[in-house]
Chain A
Amino acid sequence: MASRFLCLYFPYLLANQLYVRKPNLAKGPLAIVKPEQGRRVVHAVNAEAVAAGIKPGCHVADAQALVPELGLVDYQAGKEERLLTAIGHWCIGYSPQVAINPPDSMMLNITGCSHLWGGEQAYIQALLNILKEKGYELKAAIADTQAAAWAVAHFADTAMVIAPGQHSHALAGLPLSALRLEENLLQRFYKLGFKNIASVLNISRQVLRRRFGEDFLLKLGKALGTVAEPFMALKEQVPYQERLPCLEPLRTAKAIAIAIERLLEALCYRLDKEGKGIRKATLSCYRVDGKLQQLHIGTHQATVHVVHLLKLYALRIAELRPGLGIELFVLDAVAVEDLEAKQERLWIQDADQGLQALSELLDRLAVRMGRNAIQRYLPQQHYWPERSVKTASDLRDEELVQWQLLRPRPIHLIARPLPIEVSAPIPDYPPMLFKLNGELHQISKADGPERIEREWWLEAGEHRDYYQVEDQNGKRYWIFRLGHYDVAQQVQWFLHGYFA
């Protein structure tokens, strides 16, 4: 079966996309501008600007002289490619093989596809209608070779379907620039009086090779179909997903567990081959009555361990309400990460297994208790006690600063300091006694003060003078006075922690 190619040509790709994005952008001539050698140059235009005589490549100043009300938008590098890739992925619905040709066209290998739409004419119309409805102006052509389709799409006026074997006729009338020749070669042809492709078709190959080089013959051959042209198809991103339809709807926990195990096995096999592991997964259960039930799990490190993942789901199966039965299970790996090479972790010297077992334990706990229940703390460079630790976001986080050991810190820190009544006879001395919950504590030993200033760039307030004190029974406390000692007004004292 002869190959058939469809070329889609977007003459105003960037401008069209701009109007798709911002529908209330002022209509009228528009130019997309990029800086080039110290000057602002028109990179792309829309149809109105072309009608006004502005071409890509001219300077903005010249363009504005022609059309004073010209709208200007800055160009983002690589935009066309991203846009064409996105459209290309969408086009995979029309043909499994799509290639992009930045900056303005794309190629579909439609061999064996068009009959599904009832012929090539209907196929091309269907595709054009949808893209035009979305807001893109485009031209298209179907031909036997990629180069011919490209040439016809760019240089013919309407959407054209070149019948099989007819592409050399169609090419004959087109100008030589339809062969994607370089500018200086093109100029040579014009100088010699060659205007269209037909005029070179009758000249012998030897002469053409001698005069215009091998490269020209190659391009001509690609257009005529005598030389094969490679097709660089976009790679489809297959989601990490597994489906399991059930002939009989499932209702029991055991059956559901078996279904999940099958899905996990298939998914983990594929992930393992690609060197990836699951961080987050979602199980969607479609019930007979059309209701959808979902279970989400997360792990602390990327894993493809089926037994472990199954355990995580087993903890949650009881939450499912199968109703009359579940007829379709879909398992999605929502977040995947590269599987960590089995390497020695810094803080588990013993074995990788230690971390593995720990991580699996934490996953089980997180599934049941929620991820927020699990915390790990790392030091932070703050003296203010409440801010001296931060929560680690990951099991693999290492401390960036050392734990500070110079100053005494209580083992039990009270989240909100408790106000206490004290009697402190001399300013800036530790108190002689304090009263807590009605109980009097005689202070026999004390260390301090350790002044900790409030971090003014974070919050306003007074500093704290901390004392480590011990009462007559040997109980040790961390107390502080807020602000300076003041005779005129009562100073406030607080209990902030207990020492071991």
Chain B
Amino acid sequence: MGAATAKKEQIAHLQAQIWHMQGLKPALHGQDCIRGLEAIAKAFPNSIFPVGALHEFLNFVPEHAAATQGFIAGILQQLMRKGHACIWIAEQHELFPPALAAFGADPSRVIFLHLKHSKDILWACEEALKCEGIAAVVVEIGTLDMVISRRLQLAVEKSGVTGFILRTQAKGLSTTMAAARWQISPLPSIAENGLPGVGHPHWQVDLLKVRNGKPGRWEVMWEAQAFKVLEKKAVKVKEAIILKTG
């Protein structure tokens, strides 16, 4: 009996070590968890939002891309709090820096890289993820495969930088090494006290895949410079979606 408990403890200990190596560790530059997203963090192992890890976001239409960028900007606000810079790699300049300020991220600390070829993008992304002096790397790229994501994962495991990969192409959606696969889609905004006009940003956040965690669906709002998970049961993502997305 005693031996079995000891074994279990040891296994739990080893599992925690593995998680730590994979980036599921307390944040280096921010606080332990993304403020306002505690409910979502429960989906991850150890209930820690993985900071030194890769996050994959699916967005195939510009409206979804905008929602994703807004969501990431909200996370960046907290990651860049200590004054570290962020690198945003994209094919062309589409992100409008003043809007980052609305999500609390200082746009003058975001360095943009505009690169034409996906080979260059990946090289720059890997170099940036290896650099310990920055808070996060956001990269907009068409596709990502297992081999490349493995390389990127190895880079972040060493440096503790958070990587956000925005995938823009629906085809060839394969398994990757990312800690989580997200999909952010816009929902009708909610105005305060039923006022007319467009209200606060409101998204449906789908965690399609979580490494060692449980996927789920939440409704998140951006209000008063912070995330707010709306009080609704975390809808379980249908198995069908998971199957479809690989």
Contacts and interface: CB of A to CB of B under 8 A. Distances in A.
B83 A412 contact: no
A379 interface: yes
Nearest to A470: B198
B133 to A, nearest CB: 3
Interface stretch (B15-23, B42-50, B67-75, B171-179): B67-75
B102 A399 contact: no
Contacts of B187: 474
B218 to A, nearest CB: 15
Contacts of A201: none
Contact of B109 (A347, A356, A388, A468): A347
B2 to A, nearest CB: 47
Interface string A384-425: 010011001000001100011100111111110000000000
B100 interface: yes
Interface in A360-388: 360-362, 364-365, 368-369, 373-379, 385, 388
B67 to A, nearest CB: 5
A316 interface: no
A422 B172 CA distance: 36
A215 interface: no
Interface stretch (A71-79, A443-451, A452-460): A443-451
B148 interface: no
A474 B111 contact: no
A475 interface: yes
Contacts of B73: 411, 500
A375 to B, nearest CB: 5
Nearest to B83: A349
A361 B114 CA distance: 15
Interface string B99-139: 11111001111111111000010011001100111100000
B149 to A, nearest CB: 21
Contacts of B85: 347-348, 354, 358
Interface residues of A, number: 58
A350 B98 CA distance: 24
Given A470-B189, A474-B202, A350 B83 contact: yes
B65 to A, nearest CB: 6
A469 interface: yes
Contacts of B29: 350
A369 B189 contact: no
A412 B108 contact: no
A476 interface: yes
Interface stretch (B5-13, B87-95, B227-235): B87-95
Given A377-B97, A476-B198, A364 B127 contact: yes
Contacts of A412: 62, 65-66, 69, 94-96
Nearest to A375: B112
Contacts of B103: 411, 500
Interface hub of A377, A411, A475 (most chain B Cβ within 10 A)? A411
A339 B131 CA distance: 22
A12 interface: no
A499 B112 contact: no
A354 B111 CA distance: 14
Nearest to B128: A361
A409 B110 contact: no
A80 B93 CA distance: 53
A358 B131 contact: yes
A408 B102 contact: yes
A409 B102 contact: yes
A199 interface: no
B188 interface: yes
16 contacts: A349-B82, A358-B131, A365-B127, A368-B120, A413-B95, A413-B96, A415-B94, A445-B189, A447-B198, A469-B198, A476-B186, A477-B63, A497-B66, A498-B66, A499-B66, A499-B70
Given A347-B109, A357-B133, 6 more contacts: A347-B85, A354-B84, A404-B98, A411-B66, A474-B187, A500-B69
